[in-house]
Chains A and B, each alone.
Chain A
């Protein structure tokens, strides 16, 4: 009996992992969202060297720069991502992502940026 339950729950958990992964139920990971939406300008490594940088008049922020990034509050990061650079007095080259990422995904992205910079906000 116990054996049966263990086997059944193992099968169930495998099923849940594979069907749920990457779908709406769990959403995308912030690392994957960063690659898809941010890396084109901020770089695959987050160091500000994305492929679009060459012809841009304002350089994309280096998200691995501990000193620069610790000057920004979490709420600034949130606003910049959700409403674009203009909302925090920065360049319009930084676009708004509110229409593309959910509120939860933007919050997770703020946490992810804190991992990239190994820093906290002021």
Chain B
């Protein structure tokens, strides 16, 4: 009797062990665990609050990926990551002093090389990691806006291009390298998150080296509309292939 019981228990246990692997081969959460994304990325919401913590970061935070990204971008990126931060996640870790200009030393790309199936599942899971407090539905895709004023804000009074690269036309990439590229912001990011981030970068990342400015909401919306029109040009897409 005892033997039967033990046998049953063992079978049940082994079924329990193997079942998730069979039935949920493309469970996004599991794909992320198996590929050790958390070895580089913060997945659980520990924001770096001191410069020492910033310097120890290997990769960008992902615990609000569902608020920040577009799912289509994630699905592509996780199969074939491209460069987002020209000087790496934390530029100070990859920069050495230079006489004319400081030198950037080969920052690593994201290590994710998922299969299509796994990438779809992982992206789906990442899209569930949302900040419930972020206002949504504020950015209206395709809305008319004053493009000339937006450009003035971006290139002159806000000088956003001092730190961010943008496409000046036909794949002519210009701008600063200490922050994420913005030439594909409209392909990559969620409009409502962009609005929230540019208004208060330190809410998302207390030690972000981006200035925080007090400007009216309408100004932030104008900038967001402009940023969301930034898409990778044909020229850039070809060059990547």
Looking at chain B's contact residues, is the secondary structure mostly helix, strand, loop, or mixed? loop
Question: Cα distance A92–B161 when bound, in Å?
Answer: 11
Query: Are the C-beta atoms of B207 and A44 separated by less than 8 Å?
Result: no
Asked if A3 CB lies within 8 Å of chain B CBs, one says no
- Please determine whether A32 and B51 come into contact, CB atoms closer than 8 angstroms: yes
B159-182 contacts to A (CB < 8 Å): 159, 161-163, 174-178
Q: Say yes or no: A36 contacts B51, CB within 8 Å.
A: yes
Query: In the bound complex, do residue A100 and residue B163 qualify as a contact, i.e. CB atoms below 8 Å apart?
Result: no
Given A40-B91, A93-B162, A53 contacting B211 (CB threshold 8 A)? no
- Of the candidates A53, A84, A95, which one forms a contact with B101 in the assembled complex, judged by CB atoms under 8 Å apart? A53
One digit per residue, 1 when the CB lies within 8 angstroms of any chain A CB and 0 when it does not, for chain B 118-133 equals 0000000000000000
Contact A44 B97 (CB under 8 A): yes
- B52, B98, B163, B174: the one within 8 Å of A40 (CB): B163
Contacts of B104 in A (CB 8 A): 51
Asked whether B51 lies within 8 Å of A28 as measured between CB atoms, the reply is yes
How distant is the Cα of A93 from the Cα of B163 in the complex, in angstroms? 10
Complex: how many Å from CA A51 to CA B51?
19
Per the bound structure, the CA–CA distance linking A45 and B102 in Å amounts to 9
Contact of A97 among B54, B101, B211 (CB under 8 A): B211
Which residues between 86 and 132 of chain B lie within 8 Å of chain A, taking CB atoms? Answer: 87, 91-92, 95-102, 104
CA distance A51 to B161 in the complex (A): 13
Q: How far is the CA of A96 from the CA of B210 in the complex (A)?
A: 10
The B183-241 residues at the A interface (CB cut-off 8 A) are: 202, 207, 209, 211-214
Closest 8 A/B residue pairs (Cβ): A99-B212, A52-B176, A40-B178, A95-B211, A22-B50, A44-B97, A32-B51, A49-B101
28 A-B residue pairs with CB within 8 Å: A22-B50, A22-B52, A28-B50, A32-B51, A35-B51, A35-B92, A36-B209, A40-B91, A41-B162, A43-B101, A49-B97, A50-B102, A51-B87, A51-B95, A51-B104, A52-B176, A52-B177, A53-B101, A54-B101, A54-B177, A55-B174, A91-B159, A93-B162, A95-B159, A95-B162, A95-B211, A97-B211, A99-B214
Chain A residues within CB distance 8 Å of chain B: 22-23, 28, 32-33, 35-37, 39-41, 43-45, 49-56, 84, 86, 91-93, 95-97, 99-100
